[in-house]
Chains A and B, each alone.
Chain A
């Protein structure tokens, strides 16, 4: 077992952990939403260090810039599908996958649903908040979220007034957003709720309602004083429990699930050393040896967004983005509508009968063997070079390398070869692409 220090040391290619196209594709999948064949090739040529440099400080990308502005004029007229489409177009365009992936992480962490907020402008503003502050210091992000109108509507901040405190925000703030269960008491929740009184959303903006604020003495987490909401935020974000919760959750999102307690401890120390800087912390994870170890490869179940956006980017397809949002809902991840304030559970919870059937339908449509709502499918003649079509083995190896960068059991490859050899090649090639996209291995990130 490597020590936490070894795990967090910068990755240098070695004989046992070489820099390969598979490693480059792995890095692009974890840092963002995967790459096209060209992007994987570029990352492979650039090497791990330069690739992370470019992810963290990306070059200007006009298509991405255009995608960022595209939904604004529509917010007054449409339903949540327009927000979903707008965000998916940004992810599909590339341009800033590092920040977009972190925004997705924060959307799951500070999980807010339009089903209750019912205001696309507020949800959009929160999404931009995650994009803009999501790589900064956690305390700045946390304070912005505590004052975010969508959040205040979502967790009844609006109802929280002096004399009749509503504990919803205060409770989730401690239990889910910062400390974790067991690291605070019921009295802390009650007192923190008093501190948050008067933090309201008015006409789409944060408003401090002095008359509704309880300015009296409170005791939260052992500190006494006339605390307000900012006081509670500051107390929570400085606790060891908060650094541990974030470090563990980020590592489980980017590297592999359930890191060992000593590793979580080392990660929490690292995060504190970085002054709670989320971007630098995730950057360190992307440069770490832990990310490139065998146990990290295909160690996470792809979320529906990762699966769909990753596949469409790999195949360089442009779908009807609203239809894609609806399909993601069937797969269990309706953007801007997380199931509850805990966000998506992730991991094995992504897997259900209905969601797997939806994943398979997605694979069938993009492979071109069944028509569907996305209105886009691979052109097998353009995808498979003439040079690999001569032999079934070469055809299969090409598809496995392009879509999965290898890593399937030999018996799986053998079945694909047998199937590709049979019958009409015009049917066999889309069938091969569908089968690879529907493989259990392809559901793993």
Chain B
């Protein structure tokens, strides 16, 4: 068990660039990760990954719809409208018609789906299940690092300067990005991740005064010295982010949603050329226990429109070939709709992969005649998807990060 306090302290000290932090990492984690360099696989250090978290448990069956399955129609007397006009992916499965913004990506083979991603003995608690997906350690009761955080900790060839990984739109860093070395920044918005004062007659004088004051020596090893160094690093990263993003215009049209805002911010940081490799964004509201038809179609439309706008923007910047987006949710929902025209917590669900992928369906389709306590049964362990992304996209060894070997999926 890792102690969260020591994690945070060491993480924070690493954030200010202490080369000793790795040596000081708790023995247990080093044992887990191994000491070897993690370069391997066919991935490229130029590639960036955007993880999109669908919070609340997305109803996979109304997202990737088994439109011709009688069992689906029987189980969803009021919610089966999604089958009508579904955007065909293959003979059995189609995207919810509200996701039509994704049609061009689907037709050009840039959209892949793993419709039954999950893990053995799935939890139905939002918190626990999200922890499992974010830590990728389903057998541990308490987790304090995430799969991307551990990958970041282990990488020796990280580009990205002061910003190797960024979460956008959430005030707290998501567990996925938690690592021992604290290399990921939680950026609520680019608007707030900035150094004050921004403008005004005396802004330059203020900023240079601040930098000078932080640079003065404080008693070594004290919390005060730690704070001074952390301030220096934070202010410097904000200033360079500001310089790099102010001139990067970007005229692409994004939907006026939180997700649109956060993906636009990710595109701006990508364009700025820091070399930031990992991004994290969220889309919330999927816990549709009641009157699902009034909320779920809108959520899917927002999701599709934001993703489509993001890739259109990237394509216009010539970056479309360097970015992979992975969208997941903590669980799917029960096959049978409940008495409130909603659906309850289920099991496996779809993972989306958008970018330079082998498009289409990967892994088994949901079998609605063989359920996991009313939910969709696991077809592909989500850690296989992670392993594929780590090795074939990011170029990092997956096994030390995931703690075991997982067969890659043919999606990349």
Contacts and interface: CB of A to CB of B under 8 A. Distances in A.
A358 B202 contact: no
A301 B212 CA distance: 21
A353 B205 contact: no
Contacts of A329: 171
Contacts of B237: 353
User: B171, B172, B210, B212 — which one has the most chain A CB atoms within 10 A of its CB?
Assistant: B171
A349 B213 contact: no
B15 interface: yes
Contacts of A444: 223-224, 227
Contact of B223 (A345, A347, A357): A347
A251 B311 CA distance: 53
A440 B205 contact: no
B12 A349 contact: yes
Given A357-B234, A370-B196, A427-B201, A435 B223 contact: no
Contacts of B201: 427
Contacts of B210: 360, 435, 438
Interface residues of B, number: 47
Contacts of B212: 415
A348 B8 contact: yes
Given A342-B4, A423-B205, A351 B12 contact: yes
B8 A353 contact: no
B192 A357 contact: yes
Contact of A419 (B209, B216, B223, B227): B209
Nearest to B167: A354
Interface in B187-235: 187-188, 192-198, 200-202, 205-206, 209-210, 212-214, 216-218, 223-224, 226-228, 230-231, 233-235
Contacts of B267: none
Contact of B187 (A300, A301, A354, A369): A354
Interface in A260-303: 298-301
User: B186, B187, B194 — which one has the most chain A CB atoms within 10 A of its CB?
Assistant: B186
Contact of A357 (B171, B194, B218, B227): B194
Contact of B238 (A301, A353, A438, A439): A353
A354 B186 contact: yes
Contacts of A431: 202, 205-206, 209
Contact of B202 (A351, A354, A423, A441): A423
A56 interface: no
A183 interface: no
B198 A360 contact: no
Contact of B214 (A345, A353, A427, A440): A440
Interface string A397-409: 0000000000001
A330 B9 contact: no
A363 B207 CA distance: 13
Contact of B209 (A345, A348, A415): A415
B234 A439 contact: no
A356 interface: yes
A4 interface: no
Contacts of B186: 352, 354
Interface in A425-445: 427, 431, 434-435, 438-441, 443-444
A434 B231 contact: no
A361 interface: yes
Contacts of B185: 352-354
Contact of B197 (A357, A364, A409): A364
Contacts of A300: 223
Chain B facing A: main interface SS? helix
Interface string B171-191: 111000000001001111000
A60 interface: no
B5 interface: yes
Chain A facing B: main interface SS? helix
A89 B214 CA distance: 32
B216 A411 contact: yes
A348 B224 contact: no
Nearest to B173: A352
Given A356-B235, A360-B196, A370-B197, A440 B209 contact: no
Interface string B1-40: 0001100110011010000000000000000000000000
Interface in A322-367: 329-330, 332, 334, 339, 342, 345, 347-349, 351-354, 356-358, 360-361, 363-365
Given A345-B8, A423-B205, A444-B223, A334 B230 contact: no
Given A360-B235, A409-B216, A419 B8 contact: no
B191 to A, nearest CB: 11
A440 B188 CA distance: 23
A314 interface: no
A435 B209 contact: yes
A364 B209 CA distance: 13
Nearest to B199: A370
Contact of A353 (B197, B209, B213, B234): B234
B235 A349 contact: no
A422 interface: yes
User: A332, A352, A370 — which one has the most chain B CB atoms within 10 A of its CB?
Assistant: A352
B223 A356 contact: no
A435 B205 contact: no
A232 interface: no
A357 B216 contact: no
A252 B243 CA distance: 41
A96 to B, nearest CB: 29
A371 to B, nearest CB: 10
A440 B197 contact: no
A411 B228 CA distance: 14
A342 B142 CA distance: 12
Interface string B56-89: 0000000000000000000000000000000000
A360 B217 contact: no
A370 B200 contact: yes
Contacts of A334: 171
A382 interface: no
Given A353-B233, A369-B200, A299 B213 contact: no
A356 B171 contact: no
Given A330-B188, A349-B8, 14 more contacts: A330-B192, A352-B230, A354-B193, A354-B234, A356-B231, A357-B196, A369-B202, A415-B213, A423-B202, A431-B206, A435-B213, A438-B213, A438-B231, A441-B224
22 contacts: A329-B171, A334-B171, A348-B8, A348-B226, A351-B226, A354-B186, A354-B188, A356-B235, A357-B194, A357-B195, A370-B196, A370-B198, A415-B209, A419-B209, A423-B202, A423-B205, A427-B201, A431-B209, A434-B197, A434-B206, A435-B213, A440-B227
Which 4 residue pairs spanning A and B have beta carbons closest together?
A364-B196, A353-B234, A440-B228, A349-B8
